[in-house]
Structure 1
Amino acid sequence: MKSTRLSLGFALAVCATAPFVAACQQAPGAGVTAFVDVTVIPMDSERVLPGHTVVVRGDRIVAVGSSASVEVPDGANRIDGSGKYLLPGLSEMHGHTPGGNASDEFREQVMFLYAANGVTTVRGMLGLPGDLDLKARTNTGGVWGPTLYLAGPSFSGGSISSAEQAVERVWTQKREGWDHLKIHPGLTVLQYDAMAAAAAQAGIRFAGHVPADVGIRHAILMGQETFDHLDGYMEDAGGIRGPMDEERMEQLFAMTIDARAWVVPTMVLWEVGVIGLGDPEALAAYPEMRYWPPQGVEGWSNRLSAIQASDGWDVERARLHASNRTQLLGMMNEAGVGILMGTDSPQMFSVPGFSIHREIAAMAEAGMSPYEILVSGTRNVGDYFQRYDSFGTVAAGRRADLILTNSNPLDDVANVADRAGVMVRGVWKSEEEIQQGLAEIAASFGN
Structure 2
Amino acid sequence: MAKLGSFLVSLLFGLSVTAATANEHVTVFENVHVLTMQPEHQGQILRQQTVVIQGDRIIAMGAQGDVEIPAHAQRITGEGRYLLPGLAEMHGHVPPTQSFTGIPERYLDDVLYLYLAGGVTTVRGMLGHPHQLQLKDDIAEGRRIGPTLYLAGPSFNSNTVRDRAQARQRVREHAEEGWDLLKIHPGLSLDQYQAIAAEAHEQGIDFAGHVPTDVGIRHAIILGSRTIDHLDGYLAEVDGFEQPVSDEVLQELAEFTVAHGVGVVPTQALWATLIGAGDAEAMRAYPELQYVPQQVRAGWFNFLDDPQSVYYTGNTAAVHQENRQRLLAALYEAGAEILLGTDAPQLFSVPGLSMRREIPFMVDAGMTPYDIIYSGTVAVGQYFAQQDEFGQVRVGHRADLLLVGENPLENISTLYEPVGVMAQGQWHSRSAIEAKLAEIAAAYRAE
Q: How far is the alpha carbon of 1:92 from its aligned partner?
A: 0.3
Counterpart for residue 345 of structure 2? 346
- Cα distance in 2, alignment partners of residues 182 and 245 from structure 1: 31
CA contact (8 A) 2:403 2:419 kept: yes
CA contact (8 A) 1:122 1:149 kept: yes
The reply on whether 1:95 has 2:100 as its aligned counterpart is no
The reply on whether 1:86 has 2:83 as its aligned counterpart is yes
CA contact (8 A) 1:237 1:246 kept: no
Counterpart for residue 360 of structure 1? 359
The reply on whether 1:444 has 2:435 as its aligned counterpart is no
- Cα distance in 1, alignment partners of residues 431 and 184 from structure 2: 40
Distance 1:214 1:371, change over 3 A: same
Within 5 A, what are the aligned runs for 1:141-220? 141-220=142-221
Within 5 A, what are the aligned runs for 1:2-401? 30-44=24-38, 45-99=42-96, 101-102=98-99, 105-272=106-273, 274-307=274-307, 314-315=314-315, 317-401=316-400
- Cα distance in 2, alignment partners of residues 28 and 237 from structure 1: 61
Letter in 2 for 1:150: L
Post-superposition CA distance 1:396-429 (Å, at most 9, x none): 0000000000111110111112421000000001
Distance 1:100 1:147, change over 3 A: closer
Q: How far is the alpha carbon of 1:266 from its aligned partner?
A: 0.2
- Cα distance in 2, alignment partners of residues 51 and 360 from structure 1: 28
Distance 1:386 1:79, change over 3 A: same
Counterpart for residue 21 of structure 1? none
Q: How far is the alpha carbon of 1:434 from its aligned partner?
A: 0.6
- The SS at the match of 1:407 is coil
Counterpart for residue 13 of structure 1? none
- Cα distance in 2, alignment partners of residues 125 and 330 from structure 1: 25
Post-superposition CA distance 1:2-44 (Å, at most 9, x none): xxxxxxxxxxxxxxxxxxxxxxxxx999510000110000112
- The SS at the match of 1:71 is coil
CA contact (8 A) 1:29 1:77 kept: no
CA contact (8 A) 1:127 1:150 kept: yes
CA contact (8 A) 1:407 1:418 kept: no
Post-superposition CA distance 1:277-317 (Å, at most 9, x none): 3354542321100100011011011122212899x9533x1
Counterpart for residue 17 of structure 1? none
Post-superposition CA distance 1:359-402 (Å, at most 9, x none): 11111111111111101000000011101100001000000000
CA contact (8 A) 2:400 2:424 kept: yes
CA contact (8 A) 1:30 1:75 kept: no
- Cα distance in 2, alignment partners of residues 100 and 56 from structure 1: 31
- Cα distance in 1, alignment partners of residues 66 and 306 from structure 2: 61
- The SS at the match of 1:354 is coil
CA contact (8 A) 2:353 2:416 kept: no
- Which moved further from structure 2: 301-310 or 333-342? 301-310
Q: How far is the alpha carbon of 1:68 from its aligned partner?
A: 2.5
- The SS at the match of 1:56 is strand
Post-superposition CA distance 1:234-282 (Å, at most 9, x none): 112332111114333333222322222100000000000x212335454
CA contact (8 A) 2:254 2:327 kept: no
- Cα distance in 1, alignment partners of residues 264 and 425 from structure 2: 29
- Cα distance in 2, alignment partners of residues 418 and 353 from structure 1: 10
Counterpart for residue 413 of structure 1? 412
Counterpart for residue 431 of structure 1? 430
CA contact (8 A) 1:239 1:321 kept: yes
Counterpart for residue 11 of structure 1? none
- Cα distance in 2, alignment partners of residues 75 and 228 from structure 1: 45
CA contact (8 A) 1:55 1:64 kept: yes
- Cα distance in 1, alignment partners of residues 167 and 277 from structure 2: 36
Segments of 5+ residues of structure 2 without an aligned counterpart are 1-20
Percent of matched pairs sharing the same residue: 49
- The SS at the match of 1:39 is strand
Segments of 5+ residues of structure 1 without an aligned counterpart are 1-26
Length-normalised TM-score, structure 1 = 0.90
- Cα distance in 2, alignment partners of residues 411 and 238 from structure 1: 38
Length-normalised TM-score, structure 2 = 0.90
Letter in 2 for 1:99: P
- Cα distance in 2, alignment partners of residues 160 and 309 from structure 1: 23
- The SS at the match of 2:233 is helix
Letter in 2 for 1:32: V
CA contact (8 A) 2:167 2:196 kept: yes
- The SS at the match of 1:78 is strand
- Cα distance in 2, alignment partners of residues 136 and 104 from structure 1: 20
Counterpart for residue 16 of structure 1? none
- The SS at the match of 2:354 is helix
- The SS at the match of 1:186 is coil
- Cα distance in 1, alignment partners of residues 352 and 135 from structure 2: 17
